[in-house]
Amino acid sequence: MITLTIVFVVLSLLYYYSITSFKYWKTKGIKHDKPVPLFGNCLWYFMAKKSLTDIVNKTYWKYYNEKAVGLFRGGRPELIIKDLETIKHVFVTDFVTFNSRGLNYHEDISEPMMKNVFFAKGDLWRLLRQRMTPAFTTSKLKGMFPLIMDRAEKLQARALAVAATGQVVDVYRLMARYAIDFIATCGFGLDINALEQEDSPVDKLGEIFFKSSIRDTLLRFINYFIPSIGKRFKVFNNVEVEMVTLTKQILEQRNYEPSGRNDFVDLLLECKKKGLIVVESIEHKKPDGSPEIATLELDDVILASQIFIFFAAGFETSSSTTSYTLHLLAYYPEVQRKVQEDIDRVLSKYGNKLCYDAVKEMTYLEWAFKESMRIHPAGGVSMRVCAQKTHIPNINTTIDKGVRVLIPVYAIHHDPKYFDNPEEFRPERFSPEEFSKIPKFCYLPFGEGPRACIGERLALIQALAGLAAILSRFTVEPAPESTRHPAYDPLSEITLMVKGQLPLLLKKRSDTVT
């Protein structure tokens, strides 16, 4: 009886809290759907039946003429921003106020695997970003490219073996193996040969990092409805010990000195050797209004966190974006022919050898890849958290500290206001002539502003190398079981993972460059 009473009291308090917060957007004159007690507008999100992208996309089109729309995730008010000028305000103009990605349920807690350039906020983010940015220069990427090329050649060999059987290929799984081989080699200095293993560890990685498990669903409930308890649970508890242990082993093997491999660990060790990081704080000010000084020393845990995010972010985004590109090319054979002609033309100049300069010259392949990321962006929603009460001028409203702002990337990418016939796969959109006419801040596969993806250029060169390796030797075609419009997995929390497989046929080309 006492237990039932406690449960009743807790549910009553949660119900009261949720419905009182539901007045938030109405008092500010922001339109929104009528929320459901406890769940707000996200009942199916909490039930793990729909992704946040699904919910935001539906809201975007329902309130098409609004510059911003309110949303309640549980009892928490969130703001969907549709107006491009306001998106610029959040990403660039008032970046300091919106510097946090909001991927941590609790802004005052940062678990070890979130102390990286992707998850961190405020001064920690600025310190890491300043030190890490030089690690992704053109010269560093050129130095890393031989490692990429080696993996691309192994991808090509694997594709040849599969194509020889005439069997249908799950290109998502194939490109995921390429991604994990690349990350292990370029990130850890390890050769795991995922491309050559039938029972590859790649099969579980996507689920571990990007799909909501039963634990994740329960944790989502707890964090939104009982945050004081949710703070006790770590999001990445299942990988923390392993990542720190593995990182220490690799660092000790190299005696904390760059090995000359030019991989990501070497780049981190170079960052560490530079010593204490010092920046002006964006979180704290002195009494005279000038910024305080923030400092950071890179220890093993912070280095492990950088390797973790290099691994986690690089794996799924690379797997999805490259496999979606192959899938689109299979259904647009005339585009595929143009891509192959572009690849053949460039390779003939370089002795049929894939190298950094050759990949950079494959302009039509790059346009096709960018168009694929427009249709299937790696992340369907980009998020920021308001760090202090602030006025957003273009929508003439004030929001409070802690309110999350959602940028509907997928919906904007598919809006005919910005892209004519948006469902058509047309790489020419990204020619200099056409792309210059597209409004700023409507193409956001890597974000914009100071928090744009730091690894954008590395991701691009790695993806193009893999695609060039495949398309220089094969033509991709739909398989009997292929679906023209693949569905996204509603359990994918951050990225737009495909639901199931992406089956295609690989046909060896007879007109390949020799």
Binding residues for heme: 453
- DSSP string for residues in 156-211: HHHHHHHHHHT--EEHHHHHHHHHHHHHIIIIIS----GGG-SS-THHHHHHHHHB
Relative orientation angle of helices 122-132 and 300-331, to the nearest 10 degrees: 70
Give residues with Cβ within 8 angstroms of 402, minimum separation 6. Answer: 107, 385, 386
In this structure, which amino acid lies at residue 139?
A: S
> Tokens 């293993």 belong to which residue?
197
Q: Are strands 404-407 and 76-81 parallel, antiparallel or unpaired?
A: parallel
d(CA 467, CA 179): 12
Q: In what helix (H) or strand (E) does residue 392 lie, and over which residues does it extend?
A: strand 390-392
Provide, for the chain, the percentages of residues in helix, strand and coil under a 3-state DSSP scheme, each rounded to the nearest 5.
55, 10, 35
**R_g over Cα of the chain:** 24
- Listed in sequence order, the residues at least 6 apart from 224 whose beta carbon sits closer than 8 Å to its beta carbon are 46, 73, 74, 75, 76, 105, 230
Terminal Cα-to-Cα distance of the chain (whole angstroms): 80
Question: Tokens 């093993």, residue?
Answer: 300
Residues in contact with 291: Cβ distance below 8 Å, sequence separation at least 6, in sequence order: 280, 281, 282, 284, 285
CB 413 within 8 A of CB 375: yes
If one counts every other C-beta atom within 10 angstroms of the C-beta of residue 435, the result is 13
Structure tokens at 403: 């309110």
Name beta bridge partners: 81.
68
Cα 93 to chain center, whole Å?
Answer: 23
Quote the tokens at residue 464: 């193009």
| Annotation: binding site | 453
